[in-house]
Amino acid sequence: METTQRRGAGTAELSDSEVEEEAGHDQEEVTAEDASTERLIRAISRMSSKTKMDIPVYEGSLNAEELLDWIRALDTYFDYKDIEEDKKVRHAVTKLKGHAALWWDELQEDRRSKGKQNIKRWDRMIAKMKAKFIPRDYQITLFRRMQNLRQ
C-alpha cells in the first residue's frame, strides 16, 4: 500500500520509500549540524585551555612597584586559571629567582627549624614578601610624590 503526501500547494505525490528517504535526509542534516557544533565547542575549549599567560619572574629587588606588579600579575593568573587556594603559593614560588628565591628558601627553613609549618596561604606569602621587599619608607615616598603633584 502506498501513502501519498502533498508538497505545499503542488500535486506531487511521494511514495512511502520517498517519505522515509526525506526523513532520513533531514536526520542526517541534524546529525551533521550536531557534529559540527560539537567540533566547534571542542576547538574553542582547546583554544581557551591553551591560552598562555606569561607570569613575570620576581628576583627580589627593592623596587616596590616591581613587587606589587608581580603580585597583581599572579592574582590575575590565579583568577583566570581558577587556581585553588592551597596551590597558589606553590605556583608563585616557581616564579621566584635570585635573591627572592634564596630568601624564600631561608624563610621556610627557618620556620621548620622553629617547629612552624611552611607558609601555604597566598595572603601570608604576600604579607611576608611586602615586609621584606618593600622599603620601610615607601609610604612616605608615595606621600611626597603626591604632594609634589599638587604643587
Per-domain residue ranges of the chain: 13-48, 64-140
Q: pLDDT tens digits, residue range 10-22?
A: 445 656 666 555 5
Question: For residues 43 and 68, which has the higher predicted lDDT (pLDDT)?
Answer: 68
Do 36 and 28 touch, CB atoms closer than 8 A? no
Closest CA to 92 of 109, 111, 100, 135: 100
Question: Across the chain, which distance is largest between two alpha carbons, in Å?
Answer: 99
Mean pLDDT across the chain: 82
Asked whether the CA dihedral 22, 23, 28, 30 is positive or negative, the reply is positive
Q: pLDDT tens digits, residue range 30-62?
A: 577 788 788 877 777 666 556 677 889 999 998
64 band by pLDDT with thresholds 50, 70 and 90: very high
pLDDT at residue 8, rounded to an integer: 47
- Decide: pTM greater than 0.75: no
3 burial level (CB within 10 Å; 0-12, 13-18, 19+): exposed
